[in-house]
Amino acid sequence: DAGITQSPRHKVTETGTPVTLRCHQTENHRYMYWYRQDPGHGLRLIHYSYGVKDTDKGEVSDGYSVSRSKTEDFLLTLESATSSQTSVYFCATWTGHNNSPLHFGNGTRLTVT
Amino acid sequence: KQEVTQIPAALSVPEGENLVLNCSFTDSAIYNLQWFRQDPGKGLTSLLLIQSSQREQTSGRLNASLDKSSGRSTLYIAASQPGDSATYLCAVYGNTGKLIFGQGTTLQVKP
């Protein structure tokens, strides 16, 4: 959908290690988003980008950083992974037009042991 | 702060039934409302988008309505099929510049 590729699809890591998740899009959408999905909490916005090198925090940004050096790539870094960051992470893109929906990748399942 | 609520959290119906999923939101200052479908282990797929100036949108057996003043939207599924089994999420896009999601309704359609 909208040519969104998330990598890796699955990852297991240890507490305290840094982790980087990648989102790559081929549709030249201006906006990109990182969400996490957890039972009982639904989808929560971590960070988003409204252009190259332009990013902002979402509602659950603590412990996460992002970078967008190219239109097509949006990276999410867990600086020092904790067990509370075990989750499914979704990337989404948007054209910026109000009549256009968000497009989602298939997610990355991250387990922090 | 915008809050989005979906009722019921889960629903099980026999094949062929017509059904309604509900979504309510607390801040009526929205630009659009979106309905998504999520299959297990997959990402979200956009079903319908209703702009704030619109009252409803239709796609095949799906019809979504929007009543901005009362903070409500419904997703109507006609003649349900087992392939409709999934989690349905609504989300509102408002002046925060962010899409806020409800927690979803998990639908099971039994053959």
pLDDT for A40 equals: 82
Nearest CA in chain A to B93: A98
Q: Which residue bears the tokens 């959290």?
A: B9
Q: Which residues of A have a CB under 8 Å from any CB of B?
A: 1, 4, 33, 40-45, 48, 58, 90, 92, 98-107
pLDDT per position as a tens digit, B21-31: 999 999 999 99
Our CA-based measurement puts residue B77 at a distance from the nearest CA of chain A, in whole angstroms, of 20
Q: How far is residue A3's CA from residue B5's CA, in Å, rounded to a whole number?
A: 30
Q: In this complex, is the C-beta atom of B3 within 8 Å of any C-beta atom belonging to chain A?
A: no
**Closest to B43 (Cβ–Cβ): which among A42, A44, A90?**
A90
Residue A46, class by beta-carbon neighbours within 10 Å (0-12 exposed, 13-18 middle, 19+ buried)?
Answer: buried
pLDDT per position as a tens digit, A32-90: 999 999 988 889 999 999 999 999 999 999 999 999 999 999 999 999 999 999 999 99
Q: How far is residue B83's CA from residue A30's CA, in Å, rounded to a whole number?
A: 33
pLDDT for A87 equals: 97
pLDDT for A12 equals: 98
Q: Is residue A31 predicted with pLDDT exceeding 80? A: yes
Q: Is residue B98 predicted with pLDDT exceeding 90? A: no
Task: Categorise residue B69: left if φ over 0, alpha if ψ from -120 to 50, beta otherwise.
Answer: alpha
Give SS3 for B91.
strand
pLDDT for B50 equals: 96
pLDDT for A39 equals: 87
Which pLDDT band holds residue A98 (cuts at 50, 70, 90)?
A: confident
- Token couple for B3: 């809050």
pLDDT per position as a tens digit, B34-57: 999 999 888 999 999 999 999 999
pLDDT for A97 equals: 87
pLDDT for B4 equals: 95
